[in-house]
Amino acid sequence: MATARSRRIEEQIRHELAVICARELRDPRVAGVSFTAVRVARDLEHAQVFFTVLTGDAALVGKALEHASGFVRSQLAQRMDLRTVPKLTFVYDVSIERGAHLSHLIDQAVAEDQRYAQAEADANPDRQ
């Protein structure tokens, strides 16, 4: 059960990560990364950071983020007022891709229904 404090910390971490990656991190592999969510453990020792990429290979971006996690964590320590900054684990968020796939399937089903309705109307012109 997430508390209001942990939700505020999660949102602040997500915001700060976006700023750090955009302004401070010089690794071109992380260009186009977007952080979708952060989940901190109850003890605030660990945080899962969910990300998605606009362009590029997600596995390569994940490795780059893991490689830079020490630097990113030190930057978070300077920006946030926490006793302990959580250890970051980066996880690729597939929900965006899954949502796009489901949207595509829905569009296909609607188009197929329209084609079927049009074929029915063409076959039975007197039923209109």
Kindly list the domain boundaries of the chain, sorted by start residue.
Answer: 4-93, 94-128
Instruction: Confirm if 54 and 34 have CB atoms less than 8 A apart.
Output: yes
Assigned architecture for domain 4-93: 2-Layer Sandwich (3.30)
As a whole number of angstroms, the distance between CA 12 and CA 79 comes to 10
As a whole number of angstroms, the distance between CA 103 and CA 110 comes to 11
The pairing of beta strand 87-92 with beta strand 33-40: unpaired
Query: Per residue in 53-107, pLDDT tens?
Result: 988 888 999 999 999 999 999 999 999 988 889 999 999 998 777 777 888 889 8
Query: In this structure, how many other beta carbons lie within 10 angstroms of the beta carbon of residue 96?
Result: 15
Instruction: Confirm if 38 and 13 have CB atoms less than 8 A apart.
Output: yes
Percent of the chain scoring above 90 in pLDDT: 51
